[in-house]
Amino acid sequence: MQIEAFERSSRAFARRTPFEPFAVELVSGSRLEVNHPEAVAFNGGRAVYIAPDGTPSLFDHDRVSRLERRKGTEPRQ
């Protein structure tokens, strides 16, 4: 993913009010399920995700294939 698209999209998902869970799909096929707005932080094309068990995952814009609303969740009205 291009850095500009990554920065714009990641911030939009994380700052949505009210927050809605979303997924970060990596080019490897792995998915990071973001269930809380403070579980992920973005800066300069890089990000860190902290899983519910406390395990961190570091990734950058080059490893992201897309960000999407998490499957199985309905948009809030």
For residue 77, what pLDDT band results from cuts at 50, 70 and 90?
Answer: very low
Give the Cβ contact number of residue 50 at 10 Å. Answer: 16
- Whether this model's pTM surpasses 0.85: no
Mean pLDDT, residues 41-57 taken together? 93
Cβ atoms < 10 Å from Cβ of 75: 7
H-helix or E-strand containing 5? Answer: helix 3-15
Q: What's the total number of domains in the chain? A: 1
Specify the CATH number for the domain of residue 15.
2.30.30.100
74 within some domain: no
Q: What is the pLDDT of residue 71?
A: 58
Share of the chain above pLDDT 70, in %: 91
The answer to whether residue 77 sits within a structural domain is no
Residue 50 falls inside a structural domain: yes
Does 30 map to a domain?
yes
| Full domain range(s) for residue 14 | 3-68
